[in-house]
Amino acid sequence: MAGPRRKKYTSGEGAQYVTRATAMRALQLSLKDFRRLCILKGIYPREPRNRKKAQKGATGIKTLYNKKDIRFLLHEPIIWKFREQKTVGRKIGRAKALKEYSEAKHLMNKPVLIKLDHIVKERYPTFIDALRDMDDCLTLCHLFSTFPSIRHIPRDQSTLCRRLMLEFMQAVIYSKALRKVFISIKGYYFQVEIKGQLITWIMPHQFSFEPQTKEDVDFRIMSTFVQFYIVLLGFVNFRLYHVMNLHYPPRVRRVEETEGTDLVDKMALQSERIAALNYPLVSTTTSIAEEEETALDKFELDGNEASKMEKAYIEADKIQKLKTLFKGMKVFLNREVPREPLVFILRCFGAEISWDKKLFVGATFEESDETITHQVVDRPQIERQYISRYYVQPQWVFDSVNARELLPVERYFIGAVLPPHLSPFVDESKTEAYHPPEEQQLFSNNENENEEEEEITPAPPKITTKEVDVSTKSISSIQKSINDSEESSSEEEDEEGDLGPEALKEKMKMKMIVTPGRMEEKDPFEEKKKEREEYKLREKMVHKKHKALYKSMMKGRALRAKDVKVLTKKRQLIDQKKMLKS
């Protein structure tokens, strides 16, 4: 006997998802608090396979959450803190209405503090997990560190972002973990490698803040993200300093005190010196020794693994040389160049830097110092120049880091037209993307270097596919000739009976003569036609379930090809204009 009939949407996708309104009712939270809780806990809306079933037959597009995620939020203790905050807010409003200002002030001075330590530990069980999610954290914290005190953003939050970012940058300088840099309209891109994890973030340009007239950006939601990222970055900084045997909070080494510093706030002076990024940090160990180069162990391997290991050794050697790229250089920065990004880059690779002491705290030598090797200038001309140093534009520093070698300074002199600033974040394997001529030339130079290295250590000979095709063709032609000779032999036997002995001898000699073979010429039109037909047959074999995905892939490929055509056309027009001007 059949059991009771199941109701509709009680199983499958209909039972897996809930709408945002249902989730808010279950948690008894307002929209503001629900958004805040989801950001802190890392809960985001989901896209179902079948929206109609997930919405229980309702039309339109609704914000859906996984039911398991909402059940997970039911036991979160932060919800009670949100309710306490609401209660305190009501008490403050009531005290103000009754003109009990002392009571209102007392309640305002005792806010409800929300601790997010347990959430960070829950979302990132290991240190590597935290490092993988640092890109957005560093970008947003760096952005907020440039904000003044505006609505919905507490001043303390911006100050704390600034302090944590400087601590992280000091850790990167000490460990020499910087790998790639790039200047764009958005800001300065930096990529560091920590514990084998690549972390990329953007440092915004130092422009004056323009207040937002329109409510396009919801600073309240961004501030909630920053509230969580501050705790995460604090944990990461503490662990990094602990691994590198440094004091946390960081301390700079003792410097010579100048006159008139008796009345200066020592803590403020220390924080300014840390912000200068120009002083070495104090280590927890008694003897401060420079980091020694550790030689990599080499193992005897065979085949493909040996080639992979060889590439890894070459890359490790390049990174080791990159860490000391600017070692032994003394660089002076002019007032007009961006100080912080240049100091960060140059210090990461071993250079000594200074600037005008009136500009910022932390200048270590004057402009008149004769031992300066390079001066970074970003103006068309300069009044006084020293013969003992090079005057270069800021792009030289960025391009040298990306090239992993000191580029010739002649192309970066004062007033010189700079070469194109190429992005190091381009994937060389992507053939569909647009690569400018300078980038193609750079790739070809790298390939030539690799070929030279391969010539030094010759690899065993490999049989190519073309050689295999030629060999198979030759075998088939031999077999064909044998068959033809067997067929013709029967006909020739009849003819030989009519010929004399001398004529027969001559005929046998002619048979033994080796004649040169002829290459079989293929029609290119026929070959292309055959390829198109095979391609169409393969397209028809795509499964019905994957047809939509295949179409979207082909559409994306066509759009990328179109972009490449547009950019190449633009470049041709630019080159033509340059030719006409010259």
Strand, coil or helix: what is 84? helix
Task: Indicate if 132 and 235 belong to the same structural domain.
Answer: yes
Cα–Cα distance between 446 and 406 in angstroms, integer? Answer: 16
Let me know: does 170 contact 274? Beta carbons within 8 Å.
yes
Report the share of the chain in percent with pLDDT over 90: 43
Q: What is the pLDDT of residues 172-200, one digit of tens each?
A: 999 999 999 999 999 999 999 999 899 99
Strand, coil or helix: what is 289? coil
DSSP per-residue codes, 123-172 = H-SSHHHHHHTHHHHHHHHHHHTT--SBTTB-HHHHHHHHHHHHHHHHHH
Task: Indicate if 123 and 32 belong to the same structural domain.
Answer: no
Strand, coil or helix: what is 77? coil
Task: Indicate if 340 and 417 belong to the same structural domain.
Answer: yes
Cα–Cα distance between 162 and 240 in angstroms, integer? Answer: 18
Task: Indicate if 126 and 53 belong to the same structural domain.
Answer: no
Domain of residue 334, CATH code? 3.40.50.10190
Check residue 3 and give its pLDDT: 61
Check residue 218 and give its pLDDT: 82
Strand, coil or helix: what is 224? helix
Task: Indicate if 69 and 121 belong to the same structural domain.
Answer: no
- Sign of torsion, CA 265 267 270 272? negative
**Residue found under tokens 């403020």:** 268
- Sign of torsion, CA 415 420 423 424? negative
The residues, ordered by sequence, that sit 6+ positions from 261 with a Cβ below 8 Å of its Cβ are 269
Task: Indicate if 40 and 125 belong to the same structural domain.
Answer: no
For the packed helices 134-144 and 219-243, what is the interaxial angle rounded to 10 degrees? 110
Task: Indicate if 151 and 37 belong to the same structural domain.
Answer: no
CA 271 to chain centroid, in Å, comes to 30
Domain-located, residue 57: yes
Q: Which two tokens stand for residue 506?
A: 């001559």
Domain count of the fold of the chain: 3
Q: Which residues of 264-284 are buried (b: 16+ CB within 10 A; e: fewer)?
A: eeeeeeebebbbbbbbebebe
Domain-located, residue 451: no
Q: Which two tokens stand for residue 380?
A: 């068309």
Residue count of the chain, please give it.
Answer: 582
Let me know: does 327 contact 176? Beta carbons within 8 Å.
no
Let me know: does 241 contact 268? Beta carbons within 8 Å.
no
Task: Indicate if 227 and 125 belong to the same structural domain.
Answer: yes
Question: Closest Cα to residue 334, out of 278, 386, 277, 391?
Answer: 391
Let me know: does 16 contact 64? Beta carbons within 8 Å.
no
Q: Which two tokens stand for residue 425?
A: 């974040």
The last residue of one of the domains, among 386, 404, 425, is: 425
Q: Which two tokens stand for residue 102?
A: 């002392």
Domain-located, residue 462: no
Check residue 497 and give its pLDDT: 55
**Residue found under tokens 């040389």:** 321
CA 88 to chain centroid, in Å, comes to 44
CA 222 to chain centroid, in Å, comes to 22
Check residue 400 and give its pLDDT: 93
**Residue found under tokens 């993307």:** 433
Cα–Cα distance between 472 and 466 in angstroms, integer? Answer: 10
Task: Indicate if 199 and 132 belong to the same structural domain.
Answer: yes
Domain-located, residue 65: yes
Domain-located, residue 59: yes
pTM beyond 0.85, yes or no: no
Low-confidence ranges of the chain (pLDDT < 50): 259-260, 287-292, 456-475, 478, 482
Task: Indicate if 126 and 230 belong to the same structural domain.
Answer: yes
Report phi then psi at 296, rounded to 5. -80, 140
* Residue 260 neighbours by CB distance under 10 Å: 7
Cα–Cα distance between 119 and 191 in angstroms, integer? Answer: 27
CA angle 51, 52, 58 (to 5 degrees): 120
Domain-located, residue 225: yes
The tally of CA atoms less than 13 A away on the side-chain side of residue 218 is 7
Cα–Cα distance between 372 and 409 in angstroms, integer? Answer: 15
Check residue 464 and give its pLDDT: 45
Task: Indicate if 63 and 130 belong to the same structural domain.
Answer: no
The last residue of one of the domains, among 425, 460, 479, is: 425
180 pairs with which residues across the strands?
Answer: 191
Domain-located, residue 432: no
Check residue 36 and give its pLDDT: 93
Q: How far apart are the first and last CA of the chain?
A: 93
Let me know: does 362 contact 273? Beta carbons within 8 Å.
yes
Cα–Cα distance between 350 and 291 in angstroms, integer? Answer: 12
Task: Indicate if 121 and 224 belong to the same structural domain.
Answer: yes
Domain-located, residue 48: yes
Q: Range of 128's domain?
A: 117-208+218-243
Cα–Cα distance between 296 and 551 in angstroms, integer? Answer: 48
* Residue 453 neighbours by CB distance under 10 Å: 11
